Structure 1
Amino acid sequence: MNRFENKVCVVTGAGSGIGQATALAFAREGARVLVADVNVAGGEATVNQIAALGGTAIFMSVNIAEQQQVEAMVARAVAEWGRLDCAVNCAGVTGGVSAPTHEYPDAAWAQNVAVNLNGTWFCLKAQLAQLLKQGGGTIVNIASAAALKGHPNNIGYCATKHAIVGMTKTAAIEYATNNIRVNALCPSAIETPMIMDGRLNLRNNPELKVKFTNDQAMKRMGRPDEVADVALWLCSDQSSFMTGHAMTVDGGMFA
């Protein structure tokens, strides 16, 4: 099934984890993919994997916290392939620390705001402008289960992921009659480098990994491809009457 044959898709954070899985999934279904990431080695590896599948992709080094780089990313996709059909905004950070709110470092707060909040806003703004020019398209913003509940000791991440849902719902209403759909995905614990090797370091913290696993009714962590599959569905015509949703991919965490 090639739901995205000759469609043009931009995926940020596509050098690893959910973003990489999403870029690969789009390519398998015929899309031309702009792979964007600050991680050059990871982004180039994604492009190489797509080439090995027989797909079409280009890599662009993009720091979404820099508005000009985001605008250049959208312009590059249009220059390369003439349009933009789908965007999945995956790039994000955790802030790298765990601390209660009164001790939470200003630097970690600022990093979360710069990337998760401002970066997603810059992506959304540039992508919407292009979709308006050409008469429609779809956007999926990757939020988090932490966008729907409190997340102790990580207020920066929790607050900015909540904000992504707010931006998503606002844009969905504003552009619903312009043939533009905007949705958010809220994954729970997914086996990605961010959660396994980052702030939480679950790879070396088996007790904490068990806790995260037990928070989900299915008693396991999710896989990046399981989130990617839902992102593609939200970008496809199969979800043509859906916009403004914050859809959980959570193994039953919110059941």
Structure 2
Amino acid sequence: MSPDRPAPSAAPPRSLHLPAGTAAHGPYTVDIDPGRAGWTYSALRVLTLGPGETHAFDSGEGEWVVLPLAGACSVRVDGEILELRGRASVFDGVTDFAYVPRDAHAQIASGAGGRFALAGAKCERRLPARYGPAPEVPVETRGSGDRARRVRNFASADAFACDRLIAVEVVTPGGNWSSYPPHKHDEHRPGAESVLEEIYYYEIAGPGALAYQRISPSRPGGADLLAEVRDGDAVLVPDGWHGPSIAQPGHDLYYLNVMAGPGPEREWKICFHPDHTEGYA
């Protein structure tokens, strides 16, 4: 087996689709670490804090970005206090964020309470703790018409320095398709495709709203999923063609993508499905 493709786990995840509540662990409403996912690098936690509450954690072998989903917080790390103004919800635009390096002790505190994502990746280098200002987050529109969506590249490979972590937010208007055409990143092909494990975490505007996520196999025995996803769900993408992500008409769809892999370069290189060549990824 190529050293650039991770070996299959001896204990694969029970399901690629993790409905809200099923990935809860300890203080986290979502806690996906590499061991629970059955892979090596990518991780995601979602933390809810009440007014005045705090939460401390050790970063261990991973680097983490603390990203407010709803509310504001402060992050104390490496002797600094990084104040995050946050936002009312994920549909209210970009937010500032904090980078927590590996081998650090951090504390998150929230005066009014809120929900906070911790996007993480197992890594080798220890980079400085840093504040990511909201005005410096690159935002782009991908696709057009019923394939248009907004991508917030807060920790993309080009926008913010991490060792292995790549993370972006995508907001898809109700009725639109995103993650389209279907694409994959499960082979190391220099300049063309990079190996990345990926997590999707979803929030959907409106009570009872839903969306759909497709993953189709890129090789025999590969990932295969068609899931109805709802607010707070997560999906694991260990390999395979992923997309489309389909938003219910009238209900905007948000997802947080967390990616990391073994490649020598931190890069997002993808391959489009040959049977779906229209549109933009």
TM-score range, shorter chain: 0.3 to 0.5
* More strand per residue: 2
